[in-house]
Structure 1
């Protein structure tokens, strides 16, 4: 079971503390990326969603990260070309 702590549609900025500083991030919807490419005159040729098996195995199987990675893709790659 996977429980979300943030709405998928919430693209607001948030901060994460790191060893020596703070990282400011924003989660984006897949449609935000696709629409930005389309608006810029690109056509999408391929979309790949994937989780890295090696990355998942290098972490504790009981960690929240590993559990999420087994249920959702960690990354996506868009292959696009300019029209």
Structure 2
């Protein structure tokens, strides 16, 4: 990528946005049957909408919120990197 650490992240996100990636965090109410409504305490949930697979929802694990956020951003970085021509990210 173009550098390491949190200071490089804004550049990567701007580049991802130009390539069509969108990300956001917001507070929202969900109905009682939605997977996010089942989260308790420090559990987390993530919803991603992709052209290839539609909507994906992942929930689980109670862990340190900072570690989870860092892992989610790293996963986003990997997804962005994988879309670059000729780039294989394993």
TM-score, scaled to structure 2: 0.23
Greater strand content: 1
- Please say which structure displays the higher CA radius of gyration: 1
TM-score, structure 1 length as denominator? Answer: 0.24
Which structure carries more relative contact order (alpha carbon 8 Å, separation 6+)? Answer: 1
User: Is the helix fraction higher in 1 or 2?
Assistant: 2
